[in-house]
Amino acid sequence: MLLKLLWSYFRIGVMNELAYRANFLVQMFQSLFSLGTSLAGLAVVFSQTSNLAGWRPAELVAVLGVYTLMGGVINLVIQPSMQRLMEDVRLGTLDFSLTKPVDSQVLESVQQVQIWRLADVAMGIVLLVLALGNLGTQVGPGEALVFGLMLLCGAAIVYSFWLMLATCSFWFVKVDNILVIFQTMYEAGRWPVTIYPGWLRFTLTFLVPVAFAITVPAEAVSGRLGWGTLVGAVALAAALVAFSRWFWLTGVRHYSGASA
């Protein structure tokens, strides 16, 4: 059901976008270009040193891979859908979703797709494959499995985080601003959060879950993930998914009560 919905929104997205020829080329170009920029930034740093706080170049490429992949997923469907959700609440068009015979959380979560972000997803995967090829010796099937699990957890945490923020718009009008903060802070994830001073690391771990979205999965492939972090990430993901679901349902009840 979820996939079917996603596909139909994807199809609409494709048709909408293809109307603008320039967009197609421009967006491809932009994705490549921003990736090249990040790599060039890495190159500048590694022209002066061979490791950054213990992270070797290939490992930082892996971090960048996860950053690009996760950023791609967020911008592909999570961010646009959540933005639209807040709009729906503000304009009252959420009524349409609530009266459809589908789970409203699912519907609202996939309703808007920015197809060009698929390019980021693809490039993130390419980067990861390259990085893994380079780190070959230390990544066995076990590590790969853990890596996949951590990616899923990271995505779940980011999604729940966005959903909770967007759900706040049932009570507060101006939530967009907080989302801008997240988007800005996400930039910091291009580097492992372990290099940042304590206060910034704390912010990036608990206030804005950049650490779990990017650094933790990258730690899984570079062999520095402890059992504690692994279990913690899984537990946090499960807890946030459950909590955000509960929060969403509460929000919807509040919305229906208020507008009835």
Selection from 61, 70, 55 nearest residue 42 by Cα = 61
- Give the nearer residue to other proteins in terms of CB position, either 3 or 22: 22
Considering only residues 120-179, where is the footprint of other proteins by CB under 8 A?
174, 177
Taking the C-alpha atoms of residue 28 and residue 20, their distance in angstroms, rounded to an integer, is: 13
Output 35 or 153, the one with its CB closest to other proteins.
Answer: 35
**10 counts as binding other proteins under rule CB under 8 A:** no
CB of 44 to other proteins, least distance (A): 5
When binding is defined by CB under 8 A, the residue of 142, 197, 228, 257 that contacts other proteins is 197
User: 202 to 221, contacts with other proteins by CB under 8 A?
Assistant: none
Q: Which of 2, 53, 231, 242 binds other proteins (CB under 8 A)?
A: 53
> Residue 84 and residue 108: Cα distance in Å, rounded?
8
Asked if 191 touches other proteins (CB under 8 A), the answer is: yes
Q: Would you list the DSSP string of 33-81?
A: HHHHHHHHHHHHHHTT-S-BTTB-HHHHHHHHHHHHHHHHHIIIIIHHH
Q: How far is CA 177 from the centre of its chain?
A: 18
Phi/psi region, residue 223 (left: phi>0; alpha: psi -120 to 50; beta: rest), is left
Q: Which of residues 13-42 bind other proteins (CB under 8 A)?
A: 14-15, 18-24, 26, 29-30, 33-34, 37, 40-41
* Comparison of 2 and 181: residue with beta carbon closer to other proteins: 181
Q: Which residues contact 96 (CB under 8 A, 6 or more apart)?
A: 88
**Minimum CB separation from other proteins for residue 117, in Å?**
14
| Candidate residues 1, 3, 44, 258; the one interacting with other proteins per rule CB under 8 A | 44
Plot region of 53 (φ>0 → left; ψ -120 to 50 → alpha; else → beta): left
Contact between 209 and 159 (Cβ < 8 Å): no
Whose Cβ is closer to other proteins: residue 41's or residue 232's? 41
The residues of the shown chain that bind other proteins, judged by CB under 8 A, are 11, 14-15, 18-24, 26, 29-30, 33-34, 37, 40-41, 44-45, 47-49, 51-53, 174, 177, 180-181, 184-185, 187-188, 190-191, 195-197, 200
